[in-house]
Structure 1
Amino acid sequence: MYDVTAEVRTDDGSTRVVCSVPLPVAPEVVWDAVATAEGIASWFVSCAMEPRVGGRIVQFADPGAADPTTGPEAAAEAMLTATVGEITEYSPPTAGAPGVFAYVERDWMGEGVPVPPWETSCEVVDDGEGGSVLTLRSGFGSGGELAGQSVSGSVDGWAQALTVLAHRLTHRPADGVVTVDAATDPVDETVPELWARVTSQLIAPAAGVGGHPGGDAGGGAGGNGVVARSGEVGGIVVTESEASRTLILSAPVDGMLELFAFPAGETHEDAAGRAALALRVYEYVDAPGGDGRPLGAAAVDVTPTWEAPRWRAWLEGLIGA
């Protein structure tokens, strides 16, 4: 769906995932979506950044962390598991040149751990027909087992995230986005065991609805166009991987939902046998002050229809907690 492509490339000794997606909006809109904190938060994860070369970019991807926007204590707690990078290029698109935004994360496995720097870039090119092509590259300037495993493990996540971005910019480009994160406590199951139990309750075949069951409706992530429904929550699956699904929601809100299981434990050994269930919801809302034109930086401070406790209760219902 949306012609999202994602693959691992090894060129000149480097190892990177390369993703591309055409988008039906101008380069300036795409730039605001991928190179501002409000834009990144509307399709990827909560983010804070200094939009300049040498500035910091902080991304809050831990599903169990506190919401960093709720106060100083929560922000300090969220920083414990955030990833911090340095912006190395920040060139907005012009009539004669693409936009390029790039950053490097040097301590992505924890402070002081000797790992190669993880480099990510977004290039926004005018397609000459009123739209744009976004190309994202993320990985290492070197090879090796660590680089290969880390990059391979990021392919599905990037493809799913770009599908979230493409869906809004295609169908709801003038809407704002309010996001909600929620997660359960860990249970004594492996990630595959928990995920199999959850999906057996949630997923039901739906031939001819929203996609092609068994086909590839989700670009690089392999969505299969089935209905997912449990209680008041329902939608169409558009991407999937081993332990995650991305849905276009039909209820209880308009928007998209990323549902996933993850290893949860204080040590590596503990996490191997324990897992939790989490979600991130991107709800489409009227943008305050919006004038109907496409928005890139779409994250807004609006009360969501369902706040985190209600989504957490839904997750707990899926795992029988």
Structure 2
Amino acid sequence: MSVKKDSTGRRYVQAEVEVPGSVEEVWAAIATGPGVASWFVPCEGGGEVGATVTTHFGPGMDSVATVTAWEPMHRFAAESGDLGPNAPSLATEWTVEAKAGGTCIVRVVHSLFADDDDWDNQLNSVESGWPAFFRILKLYMTYFRGQHGSMFRAMGMAQEPADAVWTKVAGGLGLTDAAPGDRRTAPPEAPALAGILEETAGGGHPHQVLLRLDQPAPGIAHLFTMPMGGMVVVCLSMYLYGEASPAQAAANEPRWQQWLAGLFPPPGGSPMC
């Protein structure tokens, strides 16, 4: 992945995925708050040019953008200051393209105008996050299309080597040596987790799994570890579907946070979240 440039000074990156569903179904998944929250993160707003879109990545990590184009069932665009107070505006464009056979291409393009490459690393970082989320979107559209879900994220930090951290996490959940298509169930001492393993390492994360769940509820779980700042981050994102999903997400988030804190006690004994 790399930043592309054109003669106008525009620098941009893009990512795309082919997913099952009609244009109307795919548009609902990428252009409405409930749809976006079902495979990405909580989001609200949009719907017309000039409207504000707020995307919630975590405490103190909101992204606020202004809609600059709105063509229902086809395209929308927005601008934000996500790269920082002294950075150029980041323009993001989403498009949906119908394909034969009942699928659609979803494409996102992030662009800015700059005379130098000072912001190229940030653009590459933005681009690198989409493959994992697009795999979740594809699973959502394949198995849970149209269902509004509730997501939560539990995180931990470890000072051990990355391989050792993954071995501890995967072993604690009964995922050691799991391969796509395997059904796995976590042992009783772990929070409820059972389902079909859909994918393993990929998207820049050598240690990760993507599960299609039936426990603690129908849904999707993305678990990965990643070196960061001399430590290793352990992150679980879980998307639960059905009428009871808000209550199930609220009940399961503290259980997972407590379990991760037990595996990797935070410095000083204080929880991360």
Quick check: 2:154–2:256 contact (8 Å CA) kept in 1?
yes
Identical pairs, percent: 23
Within the candidate set 245, 253, 277, 2:217 is matched to: 253
Q: Which residue of 2 aligns with 1:24?
A: 20
2:193 to 220, 233, 246: 233
Q: Which residue of 2 aligns with 1:58?
A: 54
User: Residue 101 of structure 1: which of 66, 76, 86 is its match?
Assistant: 76
Give the AA of the match of 1:200: T
CA RMSD of aligned residues (A): 3.2
CA 1:29/1:182 → structure 2, altered by over 3 Å: closer, same or farther?
A: same
Aligned 8 A contact 1:182 1:312 in 2: yes
Distance 1:244 1:121 in 2: 31
Q: Deviations over 1:273-321 (max 9, x none)?
A: 5665333211132x59xxxxxxxxxxx7454384211121222234256
Q: Structure 1 residue 157: deviation in Å? A: 1.4
Work out which of the residue numbers 156, 159, 171 in structure 1 matches 2:128.
Answer: 156
- The answer as to whether partners of 1:197 and 1:319 remain within 8 angstroms in 2 is no
The one-letter code matched in structure 2 to 1:311 is W
Q: 1:279 aligns with which of 236, 244, 256?
A: 236
TM-score, structure 2 length as denominator? 0.77
Q: Structure 1: which 5+ runs fail to align?
A: 1-6, 66-79, 94-98, 212-225, 264-270, 289-299
Q: Provide Cα deviations, 1:145-165, integer angstroms capped at 9, x if missing partner.
A: 333211222333111111111
Higher relative contact order (CA 8 A, sep 6+): 1
Corresponding residue of 1:176: 148
Q: From the superposition, tell whether residues 154 and 21 of structure 1 become closer, same or farther in structure 2 (CA, over 3 Å).
A: same
Per the alignment, residue 91 of structure 1 pairs with 71
Shift of residue 198 of structure 1?
A: 2.4
- TM-score, scaled relative to structure 1: 0.67
Aligned pairs (5 A) from 1:1-321: 7-12=1-6, 13-62=9-58, 65=59, 80-93=60-73, 99-106=74-81, 108-110=82-84, 113-142=85-114, 144-184=116-156, 189=159, 193=160, 195-201=162-168, 202=170, 204-207=176-179, 209-210=180-181, 231=190, 232-233=192-193, 236=197, 237-238=199-200, 239-242=202-205, 245-250=208-213, 251-260=215-224, 272-273=229-230, 276-285=233-242, 301-304=246-249, 306-320=251-265
Number of aligned positions between the proteins = 252
1:240 deviates by 4.5
Unaligned runs of 5+ in 2: 267-273
2:17 alignment partner, SS class: strand
Matches of 1:158 and 1:180, distance apart in 2: 18
Deviating above 4 A after TM superposition, structure 1's stretches of 4 or more consecutive aligned residues are 226-230, 260-263, 273-276
For residues 243 and 315 of structure 1, do their structure 2 counterparts lie closer, same or farther at Cα, with a shift above 3 Å needed?
farther
Rounded to whole Å, the distance in 2 between the matches of 1:117 and 1:142 is 10
